[in-house]
Chain A
Amino acid sequence: MEKLVNDFSFGLFFWQIIILVTLVILLAKFAWKPILDALNEREQGIQNALESAENARKEMQNLQADNEKLLQEARVERDNMIKEARQIKDKMIAEAKEDAQREGEKMIQQAKTTIQTEKNAALADIKNQVATLSVQIAEKVIREELSTKAKQERLVEDMLNDVTLN
């Protein structure tokens, strides 16, 4: 202990205090402050980057979910549209069929009427022609029958014979 006290160097103590305090002040100003600030900034940066990556991931997930939902909706809508289209098609075909049938029937009816009319006209014509022919034939026959005097007399006679005097 006495040796320790005897060996104690006040000069060294003095210089050490001065050097240490100066060193702390200088390093704090020129080294520790910029170093610690840079480290803090870097750590903050990493923290922020991680957070934003996490956020981006979440957003991505949301987007994906949205996409899935949209796709589902689109699929349902498509199915609906196809179904509707099929219904419309069926309806149109049915309507068209009905129309065609009706039209056909109408045309047939019309044709029938026309045929009837034509037939009637033709029959009338034939009747006329037959009548004319008959008259002509009768005329010719009569003309033939009454061509001679004898025949005329016989006719009269026949007719007279037929007429019974009552």
Chain B
Amino acid sequence: MQKENVAKFLLACLLMFVSVNSQAFTAKEPQEGGDAKVNTEEEIGEYIDHHLADSHYVNFFSDGETGAHYGFPLPVIIWDDGLRVFSSGGFHHGEDLVEIDGQHYRLYHSKIYKTDAEGTITYGENGFPSNERPLDFSITKNVLYMLLVSLLMLVMFRALAQSYKKRPIPKKFGRVLEPLVLYVRDEIAKPNIGKNYRKYTGFLLTVFFFIWILNLLGMTPLGVNVTGNIAVTMALALVTFFIVQFSGNKDYWKHIFWMPGVPWPMKIILAPIEVLGMFTKPFALMIRLFANITAGHVIIMTLLGFIVIFQNWIAGPAFFGFTIFIAIIELLVAFLQAYIFTLLSALYIGMAVEEHDDHHPADNEDIPVL
């Protein structure tokens, strides 16, 4: 009975998210200096691109008729011959230029460019703006949500840690968190890393919950797409890469540069392949998470876009239902991608710290030559 209620509640939440998301469409999000409605294919494509990109604003809702935005600007921090800090409110969603020390900056497609006083954007051969870009260290929407999630995690897990001081079995929300912590420890860290698992469990737990919570946030109508950003996944993969390289033992390096148990010409051939493998592993981690989350967002937004394009009583409910179906799958993917990233990180660490007893020529001598 209770289970049924929970299922109903979750379904209701999902319906709400999807409907609010689709509303956001017709109401139009900020489009730098753009016009009101989003209802042609090009506009929807641009809208999706805009959603996938990072932003200097947090916008919950925009009014298409009046062009008013409901949200707040974020601080811009740029390095351009000295640190310059100002509020992104000065850009007025790309409509105005910001002038500091005689230098003009323009916000164009969520990126800050240096321009002349008129805000001219010149295009290079590849079709992208060729204007000079200052180093942008702004607290963007993604940075803000990462900070919020970090804070949330600190609060949640600190509370869980404290609860163990009072009683051995946590109460309330801790009962939800504990099995997840145990899951990461027992199903991801222990079997893949081996006896030294304790040292790396902290990193794996952090990464798992960080990715999962951000993936789930991406499912809400807040318009967050943190884990679907390649800069974020690159940072995550890079940390894994460095942890793997720094915890690699003698065997690990030996297996890369001088593979035991194979004839010497093979050793020479294998070395560059193994060295390449060092880099392809984190690269795959980076691309996998980025592509999966981006694809999820694109599919859901495209399906919602179809409702806007067709605007009739058959396509509307059909695509609405289909969106819910995909949203449920995305809910699974949110967990799955966090799990896979953590699992593979654990696996790579495990390979680096493993004590090899096999592959030794002495062991292979007993194998009869057929």
Chain A residues near B (Cβ < 8 Å): 2-4, 6-17, 19-24, 26-28, 30-36, 38-39, 41-42, 45
Contacts and interface: CB of A to CB of B under 8 A. Distances in A.
Contact of B161 (A6, A14, A17, A35): A35
Contact of A19 (B146, B164, B205, B230): B146
Interface in B146-171: 146-147, 150, 153-154, 157-158, 160-162, 164-165, 168-169
B206 A23 contact: yes
A30 B231 contact: no
Interface in B312-342: none
A111 B205 CA distance: 118
Interface residues of B, number: 49
Interface stretch (B30-38, B232-240, B360-368): B232-240
Given A16-B232, A24-B206, A10 B136 contact: yes
Contacts of A16: 143, 146, 231-232, 235-236
Contacts of B162: 34
Given A23-B153, A31-B161, A2 B128 contact: yes
Interface string B4-34: 0000000000000000000000000000000
A12 B232 CA distance: 7
Nearest to A13: B231
A10 to B, nearest CB: 7
B203 interface: yes
B192 interface: no
25 contacts: A2-B126, A3-B128, A6-B128, A7-B230, A11-B135, A11-B143, A12-B140, A13-B234, A15-B137, A15-B139, A15-B143, A16-B143, A17-B239, A20-B235, A23-B206, A28-B202, A32-B201, A34-B161, A35-B160, A35-B164, A35-B181, A36-B202, A38-B164, A38-B168, A45-B168
Contacts of B135: 10-11
Given A6-B128, A16-B146, A34-B164, A27 B137 contact: no
Nearest to B141: A12
Contacts of A10: 135-136, 231
Given A8-B231, A24-B206, A36 B185 contact: yes
B126 to A, nearest CB: 5
A11 B206 contact: no
Most buried by A among B111, B231, B238: B231
Given A7-B53, A9-B229, A32 B205 contact: yes
Nearest to A10: B135
B173 to A, nearest CB: 14
A14 to B, nearest CB: 6
Contact of B150 (A8, A23, A32): A23
A144 B138 CA distance: 189
B198 interface: yes
Nearest to B139: A15
Contacts of B142: 12
A28 B206 contact: yes
Nearest to A33: B202
A9 B239 contact: no
B275 interface: no
A4 B232 contact: no
A33 B202 CA distance: 8
- Give the one of A4, A10, A28, A35 with max B CB within 10 A: A35
Contacts of B154: 23, 26-27, 30-31
